[in-house]
Each structure stands twice: as structure tokens, then as C-alpha cells.
Amino acid sequence: MADTVKYETREEGAMALLTLNRPEKMNALSGELITDLRDAIERAEADKDVRAIVLTGAGDAAFSAGYDIEPGGDDDDPVPTVDNLMDKFEDSTVHVHAIWDCNKPVIAAVNGYCLAGGSDIAMACDIVIASEDSEFGYPGLRMAGVPPTLIYPFVMNLHEAKELLFSGKVVDAERAKDLGMVNRIVPGEDLMDVVVDEIEEIRKMPGNNVRILKHVVNGVAEMQGAKPMMKYSELFDSLGHHTEYGKEYYRIAESEGIEAALEYMNEQNKGMEEPGDD
């Protein structure tokens, strides 16, 4: 297993702990990390001793700040083509499907920022336990597009999902719990102990029954359209990045750097007009 995801087992092998390991980048989701995370989930799923998989982030700052967003075009135009974006987003969502489809329960132990694609990881998990200082949201939507795995509406009330998706705002752990994103909030120093306690409760269940129940419960969301929407949102996201504001983000990132692009992303009062119009 590559260094972008640490793999270890605890609790007599019953717990597979997978740590997103890019703390210098706030555990942002690179292509390598996404592939390594999918492989780690499959490894834990194949281990007969593992009863539950735990995902967390290295360091104290972040569970994950989301996808690495960089210009992806060519010398003439920094904006990636729609075809390139569709290919990229298809490759960039395999880990979320691996979590959702995994035969074993997956628990997110959220520490710090849990944003954008990082929050998709947490929301795809079966249980979310968060530290008191954690924060949730999808600020990248202020750039353009939609979440490439649109899972928010299937774990939250529709109005609550719209509150976050229409604004791109970030909320604290208490508000995230109110919105249905989090099962429990605990002090940071107790996070892993509480996760272990939860796994001890899961171990009292027959493993095959947990497997059945996971797929039955996820099936409810799938009957409501979760699986197709996870696919369609990749396509919508590709098109969304080709709105005028989306293309402007890439151009600023290429010419002025990512910090300038992020500043532009968080400007207020973007309207229906094109960037630069009065």
C-alpha cells in the first residue's frame, strides 16, 4: 500500500484503520490517493477477520479538504474539455462507490475539515463520528459544477441538502449533526475510543447479517435514485465547469495561481451574467 493511505489493523484484527495520509495538503484527494483508498477498502473487505473499516485523516487539521483542483487544459486554454472532465470525474469517484458497495460497515472518524469530495467520502460511510472541531460543507461549488458524487440528498432532508449546496457554505459539527450528516460529536481526544466502542457493538451482530442489512438499507436510497444520481452528477459536474464562472476559475488558477482562484471562488454576488459584466 502506497504512503497516501496508511493501512493497519487493530482490535485483534477486527478493525481496519485507513488513514488518508497527505497532511501537508490537508489530505486532499489526489488521483493516487483515490486509487490507494479504493484498493485499501477492497483489501479490508477481503480480510475475513475485519468486521468494520474506519476512515480518518492524518494530522489534526483535516479529514480531507476535498479534491485537488488544478488547471487541466493545454497551453492555449487552461480549461479542460468536457470529455477530459468526464474521464477525470469517472476515475475520481471509484473510492466513493467502493465505500458504498463494500460488504462491511465503513465508519468515518472525522477530524477537522471535511469538505467537498472529503465530505462525499464521509457521507458515503455507514456511520459518521466527528470531533467537536470538525467542519463540513462543499465550498468548491462556488467555483462551478455539482458534487461528482451527489450523495447529500440521500443522507439529509432535501431542504437541508439545498441549504448547503445552494450556498457552498461550511458549517460546524453541531450544525452538521442537525442537518443529519453526523451520528455523534465527541471531543477530539476521544474520537478513536468512541469509534472502537461502536465497532464492539457491531461485533455483537452476525457478520453476514450486517452485510445483508447494509445492502438492504442502502437499497432504499438506491430505489430513490442514489446510484443513478452518483453517475449522472459526474456528467453534470463536467458541464458545470464549462459555465463562464467555472472556466474563469481555471484561467485565474493558471495565470495567477491557485490562491487567487480560491479568492475568486469565494467572492460574493456572482450572478447569471458572465464574469466581468457590470
Could you tell me which CATH class the domain 5-265 is placed in?
Answer: alpha beta
Q: What is the largest CA-CA distance in the chain?
A: 64
Question: What backbone phi and psi angles, to 5 degrees, belong to 106?
Answer: -120, 125
Residue 1 pLDDT more than 60?
no
pLDDT at residue 10, rounded to an integer: 96
**CA 104 and chain centroid, separation:** 19
pLDDT grade for 70, boundaries at 50, 70 and 90: low
- Taken as a whole, the chain contains a residue count of 278
Predicted pLDDT of residue 52: 98
Identify the CA nearest to 192 among candidates 18, 2, 3, 36.
Answer: 18
Strand order in the sheet with 113-115: 62-64, 113-115, 135-137, 170-172
Task: Look up the pTM and report it.
Answer: 0.91
Average pLDDT over residues 156-170: 95
Query: What is the average per-residue pLDDT within 42-69?
Result: 95
- Let me know: does 164 contact 138? Beta carbons within 8 Å: yes
Positive or negative: CA dihedral 78, 84, 90, 91: negative
Distances (CA, A) of 36 to 5, 96, 226: 6, 12, 24
Question: Which pLDDT belongs to residue 34?
Answer: 96
- What pLDDT was estimated at residue 72? 59
Q: How many percent of the chain have pLDDT more than 90?
A: 68
- Cβ atoms of 143 and 258 within 8 Å: the answer is no
What average pLDDT does the segment 89-106 reach?
93
Cβ atoms of 37 and 57 within 8 Å: the answer is no
Mean pLDDT taken over the chain: 91
| Mean pLDDT to the nearest integer, 177-182 | 97
DSSP-derived 3-state class of residue 276 = coil
Report whether pLDDT(54) > 80. yes
Report, as an integer, the average pLDDT of 68-78: 67
Q: What is the 3-state secondary structure (H, E, C) of 218-263?
A: HHHHHHCCHHHHHHHHHHHHHHHCCCHHHHHHHHHHHHHCHHHHHH
In this prediction, residues 108-115 reach a mean pLDDT of 97
> Residue 223: left (phi > 0), alpha (psi -120 to 50), or beta?
alpha
Q: Decide which of 85 and 104 is more confident.
A: 104
Give 217-243 pLDDT, tens digit per residue: 999 999 999 988 888 888 888 888 888
Query: What local confidence, expressed as pLDDT, does residue 268 receive?
Result: 58
| Tens-digit pLDDT profile for residues 263-278 | 888 875 777 666 766 4
**Backbone conformation region of residue 172, classed left if phi is above 0, alpha if psi is from -120 to 50, else beta:** beta
pLDDT for res 277: 61
